[in-house]
Amino acid sequence: MATMKVARHEILKEKWREIIKRYNESGLSVKQWCSENNVSPTQYYYWLRVIRQDSLIQAGTLAVTGKTQFVEITQGKDEYQSCPSKTCAILRSNGNEIEILNGADPNTLGILLNILGRS
């Protein structure tokens, strides 16, 4: 029974990701958008909090305590040595800028792109 609740919660979370995305693209206030789309503001804020906490946890931040965790990222000696000091790309999102150097760790890039895709 608990497995069904978890599965339903995950399905609803994906549905609400889309709803929140549509709101973000609307340019309206939350109150106005919710009224026009028959969405309860209470539900909107609940799911916004759930999705933000999920994103923060996946990014290595403990959303429940509000504490940020820092992790040292190391690179093996022989890995990704083709011009490591050259900029490969600059990602800009919501006023933030991330400079990616040649030889960046693919797993770290995947996590960053996943987070940026949700914001």
67-102: pLDDT as tens digits: 555 566 666 555 445 555 687 777 776 677 778 887
pLDDT value, residue 63? 44
Find the mean pLDDT for residues 7-25: 91
Dihedral (Cα; 34, 22, 90, 71), 10-degree rounding: 60
Round to whole Å and give the CA distance between 57 and 92.
Answer: 22
- CA 73 to CA 83: how far, in whole Å? 18
Percent of the chain with pLDDT over 90: 32
What amino acid occupies position 8?
A: R
Confidence of residue 15 (pLDDT cuts 50, 70, 90): very high
Instruction: Give yes or no for residue 49 having a pLDDT over 70.
Output: yes
11 pLDDT above the threshold of 50: yes
* 94 Ramachandran zone, left/alpha/beta (phi>0; psi -120 to 50): left
